[in-house]
Structure 1
C-alpha cells in the first residue's frame, strides 16, 4: 500500500486522472465526428440529460474533449450504429462494442427486477411489440401528448410504461432521436450484425468494468468501479478480481490522507503524462470526470453538488453550476443560461474556490474558454452578473470585454 501524503503526489494523481479522461490534451481523440467516436469508445459513455439551460450534457461532454464537435454528431453516431442508448449508471449513449454488457441488466428486468415500474401490463407489451414488428418503428410522441390531436393506439400512461419496459428489458432499441423524441424499433432490426450479443459471465463483466474504469479514470475505488450498479454478485466479482490483480502486482493500492483507497495499474505513478497548459475547461455537471462526487472530493478537494433539484431558496451556487477546470485544478463554478432567441449567454454567477489564484494567465484562459463556450451555445454575446469574491468582479468582466473587443 502506497501512502499519498505530499501535495506533489496529489498533483500527479490529478494529472493521471485528467489525462485518462482526455482533459489535459488538446485533441486526444482527434477532431470532429471521428474524434467523437474515439472519445466515447475511450470514456465509455456520455450521460443523457433533459436540462437545456445550456447545451445538453451528452453534447457538452463530447464538446469538452473533441475540437470541432457539433451536437448533430451524436445522432449521426446513433443512426450509424457506432453507439447505442441504454442505462449505464443513468440513461446514456454507450459504445456499440459494449452492447453485450447491458444484457445482464436487461435479463434481470425481464425476469422481474424493477427499474421504473413495479406493475406492468404484459398483454399490452405483447400487443405493442406485435404492432412494431408489423408496422415498423414507433416514436415516443406516438404514445404521449395530447390524445385529442393524435390517432393513438392506446391510452398514454399504460402504453408509455409498456414501451419503456420493452426498451429496458431489451426487446426494443432506440434507432433515432429528434431532440428528446426517441424512435424505438425491434432490437434485431437496430443492432448491427457484427456486434457480439452473447451474455457475459459475471467474471467477464467484472473484468470489463475494471479495465474500462482504469482506462478512463486512471485510478479507481471499489465503489467507483461499480458506481450505482445494484448487483451484489457483480460487486463481489469485482472485489475478488481487484484482490487477485493486487496480489499479482499488476495493480497497486494507494491510500490518500483522508483514508480513501484507490487502485491503479502498476507503474502508473511513474508514467509520462501530458504537460500542463494554461487552459480552462467549462465542464458539464454530468461530465464523466466529476459525476462521482465522493471521488471528486477525495482526489480534487472539490465539493460539488448539482442544485437544479434543490428548492430555489436553498441553493448555494445556482440552478445549474458548471465546474471550471484550470490546468489540473477545479478552481470554481459558473451558473449560466443560454438565451437562444437573443443569442446571449448570461453568466448569472461565478464562484471561485479559495485556492484559486487570479492572474493574467487565468483571466486569458477564462475569456478564451467563455468565447468558445458561447459559440457552442449558438450565442454571439456574453454578460456576467455576479462574481464571488466580489473583488474579482472587475478583472473577470474586463477579461470578457477584451475577448469581445
Structure 2
C-alpha cells in the first residue's frame, strides 16, 4: 500500500496528463498516453481537440499533425466524440460486439433493419459519404433530443459505429465522413476475450489518470495499478506504478490553460478532492449567473489551479481578446510573468496579436 501526500498525488495526476515542464512533441504519443482527445466545436479560442494538444505541445503544434494522424496514417480513429489511438480499438471491440444493451436501442434497430441494410449498401457502393448524402428511409423515428436533429441517418451511423460496422474516415469541415469499418480499421488487430479487454482498458484509464479512486464511476480502473492512500483522505486509490516512479525525475510544473473539455478536468470529484478545485462549466448558464465567462479556461500552475482565463479570438481584428484573467489568489510578479508568457505563446500559435488588457 503506497502512502502518498496530496502534493505527490497531484504531481502524479499532472504528469500523467503530460502537463509538466517537459513538453511532449508528438500528437500520436499524446493520444497513446491520454487515451482520448476530446472533440468539440466550441471555439472561443480554438476547438477543444486543438486546444488540448496546444496545452501540451505549445506553439510548435501544427493542426495538420492531427488530421494526418487520423486521415492519412490511420494511427488515430474517431469514436464517440474523441480521437483515440488505434491501439485501443481491439480493447473496445468486445464491448462493441455486445452493443446495444439498452432494450429501446435494440428495438429501434430491429424496426429499422431494412434501413440499416440500405445504409450499409450505400456506403459499400459509394463511400466515403457524409450523413447528408445518404437517404433517410427509417421506418421508426427517434425524435430530436437537443443533441440529434430529425435525420435518422445520423442515428443509424452512430449505432453502426458502436457495433463496429462503420467508421469515420475523416471530416469535411465539422461534418463526419463515413465508410465501412473494414475499409478504415486495420485488419491485423489482436483479439481479446471480454475479461482481458476490460482489464487492459482499466490499465489504460489509470495510465491516463495517474491516480484514481478504486471505486469511481468517473474513472473506472478496477484493480489496475497498485493500492494507495492519500494523507487526510479515507478513500482507497489505485496508482499507476510508472507514474509513481516518474516522480523521481519530476522536473516541476508550468502554466497551462485547459480547454473546459480537457480530460484533466473530467473527473470532477477527484478534481475537488486532490486539487481543491470545484470546477463548473458556465457555458450553459444564463449570462447573469456566470462568474468567470462563457467558456473560460482553467489555469493550471504547477500542480495547482490558480485562476481562469476568459479570452476569445476576434477574427475580424486578428486579435486574441483577453477579457479577464481571474486570480483565485493574487499572483506574485513571477506568476504574472508566467501567465503572460503563456498567453503570448497562445497568440503565436493562433497567429494573432495579443493587445494589452
CA contact (8 A) 1:336 1:348 kept: yes
The equivalent residue for 1:402 is none
Q: Distance in 2 between matches of 1:136 and 1:42?
A: 32
Shift in Å at residue 364 of structure 1? 1.3
| Equivalent position to 1:371, from 344, 348, 352 | 344
The equivalent residue for 2:325 is 350
Matched residues, number: 341
Q: Distance in 2 between matches of 1:269 and 1:131?
A: 52
**What whole-Å deviation, never above 9, does each CA across 1:127-165 have from its counterpart, x for those lacking one?**
11111111221113435xxxxxxxx66586222322222
Q: Establish whether residue 283 from structure 1 lines up as the match of residue 283 from structure 2.
A: no
CA contact (8 A) 1:213 1:220 kept: no
Distance 1:153 1:290, change over 3 A: closer
The equivalent residue for 1:86 is 79
**What whole-Å deviation, never above 9, does each CA across 1:347-366 have from its counterpart, x for those lacking one?**
22322113xx5222111111
| Equivalent position to 1:323, from 298, 323, 328 | 298
Shift in Å at residue 18 of structure 1? 1.1
Shift in Å at residue 299 of structure 1? 1.1
Q: Distance in 2 between matches of 1:113 and 1:185?
A: 27
Q: Give ranges in structure 1 of 5+ residues lacking alignment.
A: 144-151, 229-234, 246-250, 385-405
**What whole-Å deviation, never above 9, does each CA across 1:331-372 have from its counterpart, x for those lacking one?**
111122111232121222322113xx5222111111110011
| Equivalent position to 1:75, from 55, 60, 67 | 67
Distance 1:176 1:293, change over 3 A: same
Distance 1:118 1:343, change over 3 A: farther
Q: Establish whether residue 174 from structure 1 lines up as the match of residue 150 from structure 2.
A: no
Shift in Å at residue 63 of structure 1? 1.2
Alignment of structure 1 residues 375-386 onto 2, 5 Å: 375-384=348-357
Q: Distance in 2 between matches of 1:42 and 1:114?
A: 35
CA contact (8 A) 1:141 1:181 kept: no
| TM value normalised by structure 2 | 0.86
Distance 1:160 1:252, change over 3 A: closer
Q: Establish whether residue 97 from structure 1 lines up as the match of residue 72 from structure 2.
A: no
Partner SS for 1:50: coil
Shift in Å at residue 167 of structure 1? 2.3
Q: Which stretch of structure 1 is more off in the superposition, 17-26 or 297-306? A: 17-26
CA contact (8 A) 1:260 1:298 kept: no
Q: Distance in 2 between matches of 1:57 and 1:99?
A: 22
The equivalent residue for 2:187 is 193
Q: Distance in 2 between matches of 1:258 and 1:128?
A: 52
Alignment of structure 1 residues 61-210 onto 2, 5 Å: 61-67=52-58, 68-79=60-71, 80-87=73-80, 91-110=81-100, 119-120=108-109, 121-142=112-133, 157-196=151-190, 198=191, 200-210=192-202
Partner SS for 1:177: strand
Alignment of structure 1 residues 230-249 onto 2, 5 Å: 239=222, 241=223
Q: Distance in 1 between matches of 2:341 and 2:107?
A: 49
Q: Distance in 1 between matches of 2:15 and 2:356?
A: 32
The equivalent residue for 2:284 is 309
Shift in Å at residue 52 of structure 1? 1.5
Q: Distance in 1 between matches of 2:168 and 2:6?
A: 42
Q: Distance in 1 between matches of 2:120 and 2:114?
A: 10
Shift in Å at residue 182 of structure 1? 1.0
Distance 1:266 1:339, change over 3 A: closer
Q: Give ranges in structure 2 of 5+ residues lacking alignment.
A: 139-149
CA contact (8 A) 1:13 1:269 kept: no
CA contact (8 A) 2:91 2:198 kept: no
The equivalent residue for 1:217 is 209
**What whole-Å deviation, never above 9, does each CA across 1:32-85 have from its counterpart, x for those lacking one?**
xxx111111111111111211121111111111124212222211111210001
Distance 1:123 1:106, change over 3 A: same
Q: RMSD of the alignment, in Å? A: 2.6
Distance 1:188 1:132, change over 3 A: same
Distance 1:310 1:258, change over 3 A: farther
| TM value normalised by structure 1 | 0.76
